Amino acid sequence: MRMPMFMLQYLEDSPELDRLDLQAVLEKLRRALDCLPLRSVLIGWRLPPGWLEACRQVCQQAGVRLLRWHPLLTGDGVFMPRPQWQTLGLDGAPIAGFGGMAEFTFVCPNHPEAAQASLRHVEEICAAGVYDGLFLDRIRFPSPAADPLRHLGCFCPHCVRRAAQEGLDLQEVQQHLRRMTETPQGRVELVGGLLAPAVSNSPQTQALEALIAFRQRSVADFVARAARLAKDSAMEVGLDCFSPALTRMVGQDLTALGGCADWIKIMSYAHTLGPAGLPFELLGLLDALTGGADLPQTDALQLLARALGFALPPDRRTLQNAGLAPQALAEEVRRGVRAAAVPVLAGIELVEIAAVAHLDETGIAADVRAVRQAGAAGVVISWDLLHIPLRRLEILRRVWLEDSSAEREL
């Protein structure tokens, strides 16, 4: 049996980092390296002075690759997006970042100045010769889940111009979608169409399909440009993507993206109440259906389940508190493996963060077992070792390595 690809994310940009002791940070990294046969450490993009070199030395001594965890279409402290670079929603207004945070405020990949500045920064990172590769995060349009009527973009002049070059009248698309949002039934079709192709051939649903395809091309083309810079510097490229059921919603095409990467991590976070978490994104869509589209909760959940292709909890409260079952994770891994021609790794959240993710050991073991049996090439331990009890790494090792060895002996 092929050795699984185990990677971990560490030291995401946060004010908390400045209050930490470097030796404690390095000790936790060493203990993680002792616990698991890690292939790579995906390290954050803005560390206190001296931290990057110290972590690099620890990884070198362990024979582990060090990749930069890099947010491509949001700021990282050096690349600072300008307000005029932001994506524009269906109403023509800038799409605000989650919680107003700059790290979740996206620039448009079709904006020439934004693209040039972002890629220049990537080129500088590659030229520094510090990292073995790039792990590209935030490679998408803003998620429309929280407010599909306003957060679906982008309709900026640069997107209009590029779309016209491809034979698409984006302003006409915008008008069709605005009309779609004027009725409850249209809002139902909008939400369903974000997750799966619509069965209707109305002008409105055709407009949505055209927008989704345009967004996917825009993201894939821009990511390919960034990946090419890394490849030219002999660096590997990994991608951070939404869970397959949600990629369509944010402009990601796993098949196209796999063509410019060495591997893909899918963020199939089944218990996370934060951006990219399946419960978080689905709760936003559920609220759009029960609020803006006036659907009863039971009907809304059934509509979402049909579009997603896997079962959902029976009510909103259970989805929020318990998340998704391991069977849903397995289905997402199978979809990702089918879509991408490169290894697909499951990004399983092992963090413990108040009001964001709370897990128990039995559930973690069930999730790990599900993604392993579904064919994932490995796991990206998500999304920051800083907030992960080390005991959870031992669960991952036991379930993936020891259980699989026992199965082979039977």
Q: What is the tens place of the pLDDT at every residue in 248-271?
A: 999 999 999 999 999 999 999 999
Q: Which of 2, 4, 11, 3 is nearest to 383 (CA)?
A: 11
pLDDT given at position 87:
97
Contacts of 297-304 spanning 24+ positions with Cβ under 8 A: 303/188, 303/191, 303/192, 304/191, 304/195
Cα atoms in the Cβ-side hemisphere of radius 13 Å centred on 346? 31
Q: Is the dihedral of CA 107, 112, 113, 119 positive or negative?
A: positive
pLDDT above 70 (res 342): yes
Contacts of 161 (CB under 8 A, 6+ apart): 110
Q: Angle, nearest 10°, between helix axes 22-35 and 390-397? A: 20
- The one-letter code for the residue type at 69 is W
pLDDT above 90 (res 98): no
pLDDT above 80 (res 102): no
Average pLDDT of the residues of the chain: 95
Q: Which of 218, 45, 79 is nearest to 141 (CA)?
A: 218
pLDDT above 70 (res 338): yes
Q: What is the Cα–Cα distance from 398 to 403, expressed in whole angstroms?
A: 6
Domains of the chain, start order: 5-409 (3.20.20.80)
pLDDT given at position 172:
98
Question: Got the DSSP string for 333-350?
Answer: HHHHHHH-SS-EEEEEE-
Section 15-29 average pLDDT = 96
Can you name the residues that pair with 378 across neighbouring β-strands?
Answer: 5, 345
* More confident call, 129 vs 408: 129
Q: What is the Cα–Cα distance from 379 to 334, expressed in whole angstroms?
A: 14
pLDDT given at position 303:
97
Structure tokens at 229: 């810079």
pLDDT given at position 99:
77
Section 369-383 average pLDDT = 97
The pLDDT-based confidence of 103 (bands split at 50, 70, 90) is: confident
- Checking DSSP bridges between strand 5-10 and strand 38-43, what pairing results, if any? parallel
Structure tokens at 197: 């192709």
Indicate whether this model's pTM tops 0.95.
yes
pLDDT above 70 (res 406): no
